[in-house]
Chain A
């Protein structure tokens, strides 16, 4: 088959997302399976929702870490949500970074939190980029 076939490209991207551990395969496939006639772009919609929500959460976390004294309890709540949403779409690396951040939060280690937050942001940015590319490419499949 033609390698440059859009379908192949998309599939290839998918596979690399999975293989590289950015996205949890089963979870993502589950999302895609939820797509149907009523929800043709469910996976993409969810992911888009994830972007906005994550941006908000990250911003909240940053604010918390800037304030003194640091509200670790609230940070834990926010992380709970962040972890939940990232795992819902299968954002593996982001989720792992969140887990790490939570550990520092539980230990009330402000510096650890700040450092790990950077990691979270980084993973999030990478994932977002990859997913956006992936979905753009997938659209071409429907064209």
Chain B
């Protein structure tokens, strides 16, 4: 008979992000067939009683387990790939998977430097024999298309010398677009898209300040609920807010698979920033498991290695 503590340990080994490999080794290799049977009977998430008299695996739970085991591999791949290939593959996957993943495209386009984004575009050519823009317009028919194409096509100037008058007047343009126009038409607002997609980050950050000062709320607040528009503004103007949001969503109780995957992506690609900003949610220590946890914590710890 398996001890209740073993059943609990087995459950725990699968109940975080990643898998507690050590615990699994210890439980399973020390279990004979009797033990394992009662482990299965006690594990209501993974096994169900089959009519023919055996504990059958619940395939949907097993599928979730596959994701858990895969996390370490994904972390390794994201970490070892050339950043251009890494970002190109992330974009391609996001395009394929659909609207819930478009924020990844925004993230790639807006949080990378101009030259990194160019690099990802080049890698995309080599890997997929099409330009990113081509795939975006082919696979995305919805209204997000315009904004996404514009964002990935940008080669923003990176440097000082913001024209504050222009930043202020463009803040006004955005304000009017959001507050006077129909909010759900924002994605079609040509001027708004041009501003967000062509101006330098420095300019947009100045614009963000002007917006805040002029209208007593932040541009991000005014775009609450506007999906990738809000993501765009955050990624360009206040990236640490965006990443914090993504990380916190990943470690929430009811986080879905996609949110959890974001954890790997953000920690591996942003580790220098994470260390600098010091914004890793404390829950990571508790909720991550096994080798995956080791990899993530070590990534953050080494974040300031150049």
Physical interaction between A and B? no
**Interfacial residues, chain A to chain B (CB-CB below 8 A):** none
**Interfacial residues, chain B to chain A (CB-CB below 8 A):** none
